[in-house]
Amino acid sequence: MRLWGGRFSAEPDRLVQEFGQSIDVDRRLYRQDILGSIAHCRMLAETGIIGGEEATAIEAGLKQVAREIAAGDFTFDYALEDIHTHVESRLRALIGPVAGKLHTARSRNDQVALDARLFLRETILDTLDRLADLQDTFQDRAVVWDSVIAPGYTHLQRAQPILLAHHMLAYHEMFGRDAARFQDAYARVDVLPLGAGALAGLPYPIDRQFVAEQLGFAAISRNSLDTVGDRDFVVEYLSASSLTMAHLSRLAEEVILWTTSEFGYLTLSDSFTTGSSIMPQKKNPDVAELIRGKVGRVYGHLMHMLVTLKGLPLAYNRDLQEDKAALFDAIDTLLPSLILASGMLRQATVDAERLATAAAAGFSLATDVADYLVAKGVPFREAHALVGQVVQRCLATGYDLATLPLVEYQAISPLFDEAVHAIDVQRSVNARDVPGGTSPRQVQIQLAAARQATAGIRVWIDERRRRLPDLSLLAP
């Protein structure tokens, strides 16, 4: 049963059917499609557009279709194109011609937009759940590694000592921004499109607010023409996902580097590594590498949708069918990546001694020595130049900042005294006791704020989950 066959006298070419079908992809939306149809059916009965007994039969039939699909007792056929046609075709087989009344005051254009928005609302909440779990992991690691001093880097060169907990909470901040982007996008997803019709609205006395309340939407769309041609919300999800994947990739890159023999800071659990088919000694960070490698898929889907939308005239065009394949693959890439990154970190261990040694090496305390001179009244630029000379002297003599004899220091500036040898990584870290700094006190303040932020995200998620449609709509 096609939804559009009356005007045609010939069947579509078989290749056209296969090329145009989307059921391989959009069958995933069956639950959303049936939920939307039940709400639409109830509205048709509520407004008197169809009779009460007809609505009862349609709703019972829709629930039967849902049960069949969920149980795997459903046959999908390319000739039926998409999930909407499959559901309606099976509904007609179950209850007869009255099934045709379900599509009164509705087009596939606003129907598919509804399915996508229903699906994406749930997906954003699932994504935020996974982000919150990952943030919990960074908080947990910050507690476990709260006294571990590590080298901080710029240009991948050792720069200044930091607390490893500070490093973990830097990632917490990144993923917090990601969560905020998904939360912001949710508001634009949470708009009911049903009632826009094909593009111009409908000539029936429909009650769009009734449907919005049934499905838990916060608002209804304002312009029918825009409604059916809009996929900005898909682009927004893909954009937020791309940034999240970028942050996961940065994390993965550091995990890969830190687990090398050259760094040796981090050891991954056997559960999150694999071996070599030829080299028995290998323990490869494959999970981190795959996360890093999959970023390109999500970036590609974002570009795909931007290019798809850029030349489309109003309103609906079949090009928009491509949105779901891009969206679903991005979701199926992002969510496991978040879960795996969290598990990988929770089971990782660090070599605190090696980290502390690295934190002190490479003249990482040079800025602290310059600050020591500043405290004696030396302008910072002059102090910077003097400490540069100290570093040169260390390189020439084989000493480091901690062991260079005082006489060598004083040959560069008489302001140096024995206190310069008391500068160490712990003092360096402790000294950075300003908001956002790496001192133990500031890190604890950051950790408390991180816990509060993540708790707030979870409250936000719970509030919106309670507004989603009651799944009892699909119950027998």
- Residue 140: C-alpha distances to residues 133, 135, 165, 256, 284 (Å): 10, 9, 9, 21, 25
* Per-residue DSSP letter, 5: G
Q: Which of 178, 325, 305 is nearest to 232 (CA)?
A: 305
Q: Is 93 helix (H, G, I), strand (E, B) or coil?
A: helix
| Beta carbons within 10 angstroms of residue 7's beta carbon | 5
* Per-residue DSSP letter, 156: T
Of 9, 155, 261, 277, which one is the catalytic site residue? 155
275: left (phi over 0), alpha (psi -120 to 50) or beta: beta
Virtual torsion, Cα 293, 298, 299, 301, nearest 10 deg: 140
Structure tokens that stand for 365 in this block: 């305390």
91 neighbors 38 (Cβ within 8 angstroms):
no
* Residue 287 to residue 319: CA distance in whole angstroms: 35
Of 89, 172, 221, 276, which one is the catalytic site residue? 276
Question: Is 276 one of the annotated active-site residues of the chain?
Answer: yes
Q: Is 62 helix (H, G, I), strand (E, B) or coil?
A: helix
Cis peptide upstream of residue 315 (ω within 30 degrees of 0): yes
Q: Is 350 helix (H, G, I), strand (E, B) or coil?
A: strand
Identify the helix (H) or strand (E) that includes residue 286: helix 286-310
Question: For tokens 């049960």, what's the residue?
Answer: 67
- Residue 38: C-alpha distances to residues 34, 199, 264, 277 (Å): 6, 22, 58, 54
* Residue 278 to residue 263: CA distance in whole angstroms: 24
CB burial of residue 96 (10 Å; 0-12, 13-18, 19+): exposed
| Residues annotated catalytic, as ranges | 155, 276
